Structure 1
Amino acid sequence: MNRYLVNVYGKVQGVGFRYFTYYIAKSYKLTGWVKNCDDGSVAIEIQGKGTDIEKFLTKIRIGTPFSKVKKVDVIKIDIDKKEKKFNLTYY
């Protein structure tokens, strides 16, 4: 089990990127959250099996047909043992 803070930069707001992230996370049974940031980026905390997170990150780096991902930063963080699902978070 691993947990990461992922910051995604580029054209990732107003293009369905959070919902895209939500559905990918749910498909891999990952937990965490996704939210838009004031600087135009999207922040994600993602938790689950390492192989599932790698698959998730591969799709995030590609993005949606309407998004343009320019940069993805990934930082390993502490696991949240109480977390049970993936959420769309609003500020």
Structure 2
Amino acid sequence: MADDRKATLVHISGRVQGVSFRIWTKTQAQRFGLTGWVRNEDDGSVTALIAGQDAAVSAMLEQFWNGPVGASVSSVVTKQASLDEAPSDFRITS
């Protein structure tokens, strides 16, 4: 049901650039059936918009704390977003 869908903007800090975090995020998001995007930020963090079923979004938020091999996540901050902001697929943006 559409009522079970939500979108969340996520800001991930720590050692998250230079460890294939964006590629890992895209792979995980697709595995969970999520749409959205992920990008590197100038301050060394990563921002992602994830959208999909509530349970899948929650599972992805837990996965962000692990990240890919080589990552060391120190912070995962979330903010509610609009489903209208999410694309129909999952993209790595610049």
TM-score scaled to structure 1, two decimals?
Answer: 0.94
Output the CA distance in 1 between the equivalents of 2:46 and 2:86: 23
In structure 2, the residue matched to 1:8 is 12
In structure 1, the residue matched to 2:46 is 42
Moved over 4 A (4+): none
Output the CA distance in 1 between the equivalents of 2:52 and 2:36: 9
In structure 2, the residue matched to 1:18 is 22
Partner deviation per Cα, 1:20-63 (whole Å, 9 max, x = no partner): 10000001110000000001000000100110011111111111
Match of 1:78 among 73, 76, 82: 82
CA-based RMSD = 1.2
Q: Which runs of 5+ in 1 are unaligned?
A: none
TM-score scaled to structure 2, two decimals?
Answer: 0.91
| Alignment check: 8 A CA contact 2:38 2:91 kept | yes
Deviation at 1:83, TM superposition (A): 2.4
Q: Which runs of 5+ in 2 are unaligned?
A: none
| Alignment check: 8 A CA contact 2:35 2:86 kept | no
Q: How many residues align?
A: 90
Question: Which secondary structure state, in structure 1, belongs to the residue aligned with residue 83 of structure 2?
Answer: coil
